[in-house]
Amino acid sequence: MKEIILAKYGEIALKGDNRSTFEDILSRNIKRRLKHLGSFSLNRRQSTVYIEPLEEDIDIDSAVAEVKKIFGISAIQRCAVFPKDFDAVTENLGYLDGALAGAKSFKVEAKRSDKTFPLKSPDIQQKLGDAVLDRFSHLKVDVHEPEVTVRLEIRDNGAYLSAKRIPGQGGLPVGSSGKALLMLSGGIDSPVAGYMMAKRGLIVDCIHYVSPPYTSDRARLKVEKLCEEMTEYCGDIRFFCVPFTEIQEKLRDNCPEEFFTVIMRRMMMKIANKICEREDYGAIITGESLAQVASQTLSALKCTNAAAEFPVFRPVIGMDKTEITEISRKIGTFETSIMPYEDCCTVFTPRHPRTKPKLSDIIDAEKNADFDKMVDEAVEKTTVKRFKFGERTVFLD
Ligand code: ATP
Ligand code: MG
């Protein structure tokens, strides 16, 4: 028996004139994502992509697992394809065992796209409903709120039988909203922030600041590993690694300790601005959450934001740690995030950071050193790497 996958769009279905642009990007993302499993044909119809394996031995379980991670798809259905013969369908109702054995109620929905098929939709519904009740006598019909909807669609090239709907990731296809630069630290929050913005259709690339010898090579590798893990949802990721030691030392030697963190974050922003300008990113993403630490109070955020020249997206700003952690576990970055390597933020942590810094005081303090020149130098020395979807090259114990 041949199985195919139906991927239903979510929000794309609501798009108007430019809908086909979103559909093209979604199809491309699906193709790319499934390539390693074999070849598939993709056809779109009625807000659904029909994903059909073109080789005999393709592993459908793995294909479904991949499709579940693709943004832009709201629900997924596995579907068995039979010849257009009603008996061929009813003889194979065992296909529905997994979906119906544990259910209490069901209904049948039939669609006859091929009008030459002798039974009309209401007749198909009636007859298939009876056949289902014969096999699964514990079930009740509930046309209003069924636990499972059994669908049979008679199409030109076969009869398609399906039952269970699996939730998809939702959101919009990666690449349909442009591209943005995620400030990725080794913590729990920023990978989650990247996931959330990729879900809104952004290509997410990452920028990370390192301060050797205060931060180790392993700390950088940990962040690279996070990038690899994020490709599961975000697709390929470019990784910019910025040498930040000189700026931090200059800051330590020339600015009041209570302002260290805020000035440091402003310098990160200034470097991110330049990379965005040069590489054509439309926004900066951070994993800041309001009031989580001293550098994320309203006053501190005002100071950081004043250094940004691009829109700054902070998707986890209103979430607490438990909520962020839950997503982090779901997307598979949590275990890496909690590995105990130092971040440059923790290197010169002030003993008493100012929780209500004033922007004018911060700007005055920055005049003690030629930070603009150092920002330019750091941008020049920034290195770039690319992490490809599915590749695993970074190993840490
Ligand atoms: P996270 O869990 O993401 O590390 P956090 O709660 O530890 O966040 P901070 O260390 O104050 O918070 O950092 C706030 C945000 O600043 C991070 O979410 C990230 O976007 C950015 N950031 C911090 N350190 C770095 C770094 N070394 N490189 C790149 N971005 C960073
Ligand atoms: Mg951090």
For the CA of 287, the nearest atom of ligand 1: 18
Distance (Å) from CA 192 to ligand 1 centroid: 11
**Look-up: residue for tokens 């109070």?**
297
- Best substitution site from 183, 284, 295, 305 to test ligand 1's pocket, by max atoms within 8 Å of Cβ? 183
Token output for 173: 């296809």
Residue 213, preceding peptide bond in cis (omega within 30° of 0): yes
Token output for 234: 């975000």
First to last CA, the chain: 44
Domains of the chain: which residue ranges?
2-170, 179-387
Architecture of domain 2-170: 2-Layer Sandwich (3.30)
Per-residue pLDDT tens for 1-50?
Answer: 899 999 999 888 888 888 999 999 999 999 999 999 999 999 998 889 99
pLDDT of residue 85 exceeding 80: yes
User: For the chain, what percent of residues have pLDDT higher than 70?
Assistant: 99
Global confidence as pTM? 0.93
177 lines ligand 1 (CB under 6 A): no
Distance (Å) from CA 345 to ligand 1 centroid: 7
At 6, the amino acid letter reads: L
Distance (Å) from CA 226 to ligand 2 centroid: 13
242 neighbors 209 (Cβ within 8 angstroms)? yes
315 lines ligand 1 (CB under 6 A): no
Distance (Å) from CA 217 to ligand 1 centroid: 18
User: For the chain, what percent of residues have pLDDT higher than 90?
Assistant: 85
> What is the band of 231 on the pLDDT scale with cuts at 50, 70, 90?
very high
Token output for 384: 């770039």
Distance (Å) from CA 269 to ligand 2 centroid: 15
288 lines ligand 1 (CB under 6 A): yes
319 lines ligand 1 (CB under 6 A): no
Higher pLDDT, 289 or 164: 289
Query: Domain 179-387: which topology?
Result: Rossmann fold (3.40.50)
Distance CA 306, CA 313 (A): 14
Mean pLDDT of 312-320: 97
Distance CA 304, CA 281 (A): 19
